[in-house]
Structure 1
Amino acid sequence: MLILYDHPLSPYAQKVKIALDEKGVGYETRVPDGIGIGGAQGDFVEASPRLEVPALIDGDTRLFESTIILEYIEEKWPEPALLPRGPAQRARHRTIEDVLDTQFEAIVWGLGELKWFKRADGELAEAMQSAAKDQIDGYYRWLEKQLGEDRWFGGDEFGWADMCTAPYVNGAAGFGYTPAEGSRLAAWLDRANARPSVNSASTAAQEVLSGMEQVAGAVEAGIFKREYRDHRLEWMVKSGGLDIVVQGLARDNIRFTPLPG
Structure 2
Amino acid sequence: MLLYEHPLSSYAQKVKIALREKGLDFTAALPEDFGTGRRAGPFAEANPRAEVPILVDGDVTLFESTVILEYIEESRPEPPLLPRDPAARARARLTEEICDTQYEAVNWGYGEVLWFRRATGDLAERLKAVAARQTAELQAWLTERLGAAEWFGGARFGWADAAAAPMVNRSVHYGLGPEAGSPLARWHARLGERPSVAATFAEFDAAAARMAAASAHYTTGGRRREYRDHRLEWMVRSGGVEVVLAGLRDGNIRFSWPHGD
Q: Which interval holds the TM-score relative to the shorter structure?
A: over 0.9
Q: Distance in 2 between matches of 1:15 and 1:41?
A: 27
SS, match of residue 62 in structure 1: strand
Alignment pair present for 1:215 and 2:214: yes
Match of 1:67 in 2: 66
Q: 1:40 to 1:14 in 2, by over 3 A?
A: farther
User: Which amino acid letter does the alignment assign opposite residue 112 of structure 1?
Assistant: G
TM-score norm. by structure 1 comes to: 0.96
Q: Distance in 1 between matches of 2:217 and 2:27?
A: 28
- What's the % identity of the aligned pairs? 51
CA-based RMSD of the aligned residues comes to: 1.2
The CA deviation string for residues 181-212 of structure 1, in whole angstroms up to 9 with x for no partner, is 11100001100121000111110011112221
User: Which amino acid letter does the alignment assign opposite residue 156 of structure 2?
Assistant: E
The CA deviation string for residues 28-85 of structure 1, in whole angstroms up to 9 with x for no partner, is 1110002112347543322211110000001110100000000000000001000011
Please report how far the alpha carbon of residue 166 of structure 1 lies from its aligned counterpart in structure 2 after TM superposition: 0.4
Match of 2:4 in 1: 5
User: Residues 82-121 of structure 1 correspond to what in structure 2 (within 5 A)?
Assistant: 82-121=81-120
Please report how far the alpha carbon of residue 178 of structure 1 lies from its aligned counterpart in structure 2 after TM superposition: 0.7
Match of 1:235 in 2: 234
Match of 1:56 in 2: 55
Count residues in correspondence. 259
The CA deviation string for residues 94-138 of structure 1, in whole angstroms up to 9 with x for no partner, is 000000000000111111110111101111111111111100000
User: Residues 99-248 of structure 1 correspond to what in structure 2 (within 5 A)?
Assistant: 99-248=98-247
Please report how far the alpha carbon of residue 167 of structure 1 lies from its aligned counterpart in structure 2 after TM superposition: 0.6
Please report how far the alpha carbon of residue 258 of structure 1 lies from its aligned counterpart in structure 2 after TM superposition: 2.2
User: Which amino acid letter does the alignment assign opposite residue 80 of structure 2?
Assistant: A
Q: Distance in 2 between matches of 1:50 and 1:152?
A: 33
TM-score norm. by structure 2 comes to: 0.96
Gaps of 5+ in 1: none
**Contact 2:37/2:50 (8 A) holds in 1:** no
Match of 1:33 in 2: 32
Gaps of 5+ in 2: none
